[in-house]
Amino acid sequence: MVRDRRGADLLARGRVWAEPGSGAIVRTELLLADRVSNGTCTVEFRIDPRIGIRVPIKMTERYGMTGETIDAVARYSDFRRFTVSTGEKITKPPGR
């Protein structure tokens, strides 16, 4: 759900790049535009060798209006895997 500055729904489109054969996602791109502004958000993915899964490593954003452009880059690293273990014990209520 993306909205413009007035709060109206904004039409969005996107693209996905995948590795041939495996189909693993390597990049996504979100493209936004209305009459006065436009934006692009691109995310790149790689396999993190420490945890063995594909993770986002870089997000690049660009937003523009007449006479104004905003560029932003976020880089991600130091991924960690968190685990949770749970247990349960089912007992009958007293008196049954």
The set of residues, in sequence order, having a beta carbon less than 8 Å from that of 86 and lying 6+ positions away, is: none
pLDDT at res. 94: 85
Q: Express each pLDDT in 23-80 by its tens digit.
A: 999 999 999 988 888 899 999 999 999 999 999 999 999 999 889 999 999 999 999 9
Using the predicted structure, report yes or no on whether residue 85 has a pLDDT greater than 90: yes
Rounded to whole angstroms, how far apart are CA atoms 79 and 81? 7
Rounded to whole angstroms, how far apart are CA atoms 15 and 88? 44
> What predicted TM-score, i.e. pTM, was given to this entire model?
0.77
For the chain, the structural domain boundaries read 14-75
Pick from 24, 70, 20: which is nearest to 44 by CA? Answer: 24
The set of residues, in sequence order, having a beta carbon less than 8 Å from that of 54 and lying 6+ positions away, is: 24, 25, 45, 46, 47, 48
